[in-house]
Amino acid sequence: MSKEYNELELQKTYIEKVAKLNNTYYEQTGKRKSFAVLTFGCQMNAHDSEKLEGMLVEMGYDKASSEKEADFVIHNTCCVRENAENKVYGNLGILKNLKKSKPDLKVAVCGCMMQQDTVIEKIKTSYRNVNLIFGTFNLHRFPQLLHTSLETNSMIIDVWKEHDEIIEDLPIIREFKHKASVNIMYGCNNFCSYCIVPYVRGRERSRDVCDIIKEINSLVSSGIKEITLLGQNVNSYGIGLENPTTFSGLLREINKIDGIKRIRFMTPHPKDLSDDLIDAIRDCEHICKHIHLPVQSGNTEILKKMNRHYTKNSYLALVGKIKKEIPDVTLTTDIIVGFPGETEEQFLDTLDVIREVKYTTAYTFIYSKRTGTPAAVMDCQIDEDVIKDRFGRLLETLNSGIYELNQSFVGQTMSVLAEDVSKQDEALLTGRTDGNILVHFKSEKSAIGNFVNVKITDCKTFYLIGEVC
Ligand code: 5AD
Ligand code: SF4
76 beta partners: 39, 110
- Residue nearest atom 4 of ligand 2, based on CA coordinates: 232
**Strand boundaries in 318-360, DSSP class E:** 330-337
If one residue of 193, 232, 370 were mutated to test the ligand 2 pocket, choosing by the most ligand atoms within 8 A of its CB, it would be 232
d(Cα 170, Cα 143) in Å, to the nearest integer?
11
Give yes or no for a contact between 349 and 311, defined as CB atoms under 8 angstroms apart.
no
Distance 337 CA to ligand 1 centre (A): 10
370 ligand 1 Cβ < 6 A: yes
3-state DSSP percent of the chain in helix, strand and coil, to 5: 40, 20, 35
Atom of ligand 1 nearest to the CA of 334: 17
406 ligand 2 Cβ < 6 A: no
Specify the pLDDT at position 3.
57
d(Cα 260, Cα 345) in Å, to the nearest integer?
46
User: Tens of pLDDT along 295-347?
Assistant: 999 999 999 999 999 999 999 999 999 999 999 999 999 999 999 999 999 99
81 ligand 1 Cβ < 6 A: yes
Specify the pLDDT at position 121.
97
336 ligand 1 Cβ < 6 A: yes
**Mean pLDDT of each 10-residue bin along the chain, 469 residues long:** 74 98 97 97 95 98 95 97 96 92 95 97 96 97 97 94 91 94 97 97 96 97 97 96 95 98 98 98 98 98 98 98 97 98 98 98 97 95 95 98 97 97 92 98 94 97 95
191 ligand 2 Cβ < 6 A: yes
The pTM assigned to this predicted structure is 0.95
Distance 336 CA to ligand 2 centre (A): 12
d(Cα 142, Cα 106) in Å, to the nearest integer?
14
Distance 203 CA to ligand 2 centre (A): 11
80 ligand 1 Cβ < 6 A: yes
Strands 34-39 and 413-421 turn out to be unpaired
- Residue nearest atom 5 of ligand 2, based on CA coordinates: 190
Ligand nearest to the CA of 292: 1
Distance 80 CA to ligand 2 centre (A): 10
Atom of ligand 1 nearest to the CA of 296: 17
185 beta partners: 206
3-class state of residue 203 by DSSP:
coil
Atom of ligand 2 nearest to the CA of 80: 1
* Interior angle at CA 367, CA 159 and CA 133, nearest 5: 15
194 ligand 1 Cβ < 6 A: yes
Distance 194 CA to ligand 1 centre (A): 7
